[in-house]
Amino acid sequence: MTLKGKKIAILLAPRGTEEPEFVEPKHAVEAAGASVTVVGVEAGEVQTVNNDLEPGSSFSVDKAVAEVSASDFDGLVIPGGSVGADTLRGNEQIVSFV
């Protein structure tokens, strides 16, 4: 499958996103040819987690949700992690974007 020329947003919570559930889909979408924009509550650095409690790596949020529109993208990936998903669900701007 190719995603060449497609623009994909990946949401990254300010805390609680499981690292492999962010990294692996991001790599797969990029390998399929899509352009990826990491969207978060605000731009900057975010630390992921492993197994809900162990600190993971830090990743950059490219754009704050207030800076983008759903119409800017062809698709959306929402990585797992119970704390991260709960954090995103509680943000009105994120819910509107989704």
pLDDT of residue 52: 83
Contact 10, 60 (CB under 8 A): no
- Cα 18–Cα 56–Cα 28 angle in degrees, nearest 5: 55
Task: Read off φ and ψ for residue 54, nearest 5 degrees.
Answer: -80, 130
Residue numbers of the chain with a pLDDT score lower than 70: none
The class that CATH gives domain 7-97 is alpha beta
| Confidence at residue 82, expressed as pLDDT on a 0 to 100 scale | 86
Question: What is residue 53's predicted lDDT score, i.e. its pLDDT?
Answer: 84
pTM here is 0.94
pLDDT digits 0-9 by tens, 51-78? 988 999 999 999 999 999 999 999 999 9
Confidence at residue 27, expressed as pLDDT on a 0 to 100 scale: 97
Count CA atoms closer than 13 A to 22's CA, side-chain side: 29
